[in-house]
Amino acid sequence: MEFCPKCGAVMFPKGDIFECRNCEHTTKATKESMSEYEISEKVESKDSIIVTSDEIQTLPTAVVKCPKCGNKEASWWLIQTRGADESETRFFRCTKCSLTWREYD
């Protein structure tokens, strides 16, 4: 597996180069580095799969109105930003325009 020397992200083979999908840095591929990769449609149960896409949604969503675009769906998560005796901060990210905002209790 190749890692980007600039940002540390996983680099993927593309023709005869390795390309970072995060910062677009490229590195010339060698025979040794390319021999580690095999592109296959069939996935064995022991294989590891790395999925890199901005389209994968792993956060829960809620019905809440975006203050920027008016969309009524946003992903949300909680983070303890204040003292342990105070409630968490709720963060929302609009599923349409990606605006991120927070709510306190």
**Catalytic residue at 86?**
yes
The answer to whether 4 is annotated as binding is yes
What is the spatial distance between Cα 24 and Cα 34, in angstroms, rounded to a whole number?
A: 19
Burial bucket for residue 48 (CB in 10 Å: 0-12, 13-18, 19+): exposed
The answer to whether 20 is annotated as binding is yes
**Catalytic residue at 19?**
no
The active-site residue out of 24, 86, 88, 103 is: 86
The answer to whether 23 is annotated as binding is yes
The active-site residue out of 32, 36, 41, 85 is: 85
The answer to whether 47 is annotated as binding is no
Indicate the annotated binding residues. Answer: 4, 7, 20, 23, 66, 69, 94, 97
Active-site residue numbers?
Answer: 85-86
